[in-house]
Structure 1
């Protein structure tokens, strides 16, 4: 019996046990990998079946693409060409075929699903985009692109609590999300019908959001609240398109506001403006001409896109930056349109 325990403690015996244990682990890892791939393939197949493969491309072209004559990279390039030309149905069709053909590479499946989700998003199919991007995240939970698109989708669907969850997942990856979080919380507060107006304003004011002051001004106007109650006005450059359409003068202690209301003939004291357009209208007023007006265009500082209406989040690149408001001199029109 004693000899048995000595043999049991033999170093060679330990090595044999170690090798045997490693072999068992390797076998289980292999079996688990096979099982995972089969489960993954089954999920992808079920996912594809949710969507219509008969839209966009004719059956003849679908068969050519399914046959394997064009590689996965070629299909991706073809889908991008269709997407850039605005032919989203064909782009979606090509990506679904690529997804159907890709059997092995998890990374390629993730990429195809992400691109497909982006196309659904650009085509306006937000729920389909959400489903597709969630499928991509299931393959890779740290998919930054998919998570960013999801945050915008939830914002557009007004699912703000889900948007905060996505932003939290991005923050865990070391991505700066504080500006987006503050804006989302401001939207939650402004849409909360359980809060009275004064509590909404106070709660939004306490947020560290660059958009808060403009949002507060909009809430005052929409709720027909007296603007004299506003404690802190935004810089004129960030709200000139709103202030220009007011029929009462406000915040006259600010020289830029005072110059604007002089140009509108709502203040009697002339002040020089740093805005060329306001200064020009003031000079016209001094000469007795009151037929000048302003309209506005809006530029995204990130992608430089120019749009005719104000946006908090750029509809082209989806960035949340301080929109650049450009005033333009025009002939007066009696119709007044608020930019929100």
Structure 2
């Protein structure tokens, strides 16, 4: 008995007991956490099973009303539907949240619904939503910007231009967007002749020094002479695809011979022999090929703001809605037009 009490009072015995207690606590904590995690996964799986097939509008109403998922989670789910292109389900979620969701988030949810309508192409519904937001909260620049985009898509440029005043009062620079909307208004006018449009566009260009691509793309088509007379050769690289596609009969060789980049470009095209090399790889290859290979320039257009790549030119990015953010990337491609011409000639 005395031996037992001696061992009990031994410091080593206390250390052993201490580590045994730590082991027991750790063991039970570990298994409790595993069971809790398994229970959470079971609850999540049960919830996600409801979405193996897209829920109907009535099912969504019941699910949102139950409150099993937070409003933030529903907003994330709606956003994922929008990114996946399923605007209908996204709209249903936002619409239901507006009825039963937190009223403090009402304006934000309404704005997201308006954006989704805009992306889905329901412009009239989007317009009504943004007007409702602005009716109660007139100093909301996001709603003003999207309403302007809606009017632009609807080609109601007069209404879009009216929004520039409140945007300006909110310390937004509206110089470029004003020139852009006025240019679109001119281009879509039914009362102006092509030459009248060209000269009005040149007035905007001279006063703003913006929108080179939008303006010169039109002028090179309808009045090449006026385009060359007002062309700023220092911006040739910005308009390289337009210059490349110009007919030889429409070129102003006096201007071309005074600019190194233009000499290289049209030597690569085969119209002149004024350059032996180029610092631009694609032009250098075409110059050295001297039309011995069936190759030409290809073009891609990158938005400098959001980095989205497009196969076609644009003045306003359809992804981030930035104006004048397009950058042209050159590539070497097969000249199918030349192939087609040679095939036609072989049948004659």
TM-score range (shorter-chain normalised) is 0.7 to 0.9
Larger proportion of helix? 2
Q: Which residue of 1 aligns with 2:90?
A: 91
The structure with the larger Rg is 2
Q: Which residue of 2 aligns with 1:245?
A: 245
Q: Does 1:273 align with 2:278?
A: yes
- The root-mean-square deviation of aligned C-alpha atoms, in Å, is 2.4
8 Å contact from structure 1 (residues 204, 212) kept in 2: no
Alpha-carbon shift at residue 320 of structure 1 (Å) = 0.8
Q: 1:322 aligns with which of 321, 325, 335?
A: 325
Q: Which residue of 2 aligns with 1:31?
A: none
Three-state SS of the structure 1 residue aligned to 2:329 is strand
Q: Which residue of 1 aligns with 2:47?
A: none
Q: Which residue of 2 aligns with 1:202?
A: 199
**Residues 198 and 245 (structure 1), Cα distance of their counterparts in 2 relative to 1, 3 Å cut:** closer
8 Å contact from structure 2 (residues 276, 287) kept in 1: no
**Residues 209 and 104 (structure 1), Cα distance of their counterparts in 2 relative to 1, 3 Å cut:** same
Structure 1 residues not aligned, in runs of 5+: 1-54
Alpha-carbon shift at residue 271 of structure 1 (Å) = 5.8
Q: Which residue of 2 aligns with 1:72?
A: 71
Q: Structure 1, residues 203-256: CA drift from partner, whole Å, max 9, x if none?
A: 222324454433333223443x34366322242211111211223133413221
| Mapped partners of 2:62, 2:338: distance in 1 | 56
Alpha-carbon shift at residue 273 of structure 1 (Å) = 3.4
| Mapped partners of 2:272, 2:97: distance in 1 | 65
Q: Structure 1, residues 252-306: CA drift from partner, whole Å, max 9, x if none?
A: 1322122111111111322643422112100111xx5141111111110111111
Structure 2 residues not aligned, in runs of 5+: 1-53, 340-348
Q: Structure 1, residues 304-331: CA drift from partner, whole Å, max 9, x if none?
A: 1111111100111111133100010112
Aligned positions, number = 277
Q: 1:262 aligns with which of 261, 267, 283?
A: 267
Q: Structure 1, residues 35-73: CA drift from partner, whole Å, max 9, x if none?
A: xxxxxxxxxxxxxxxxxxxx9734223212134444433
Higher relative contact order (CA 8 A, sep 6+): 1
Q: Does 1:183 align with 2:183?
A: no
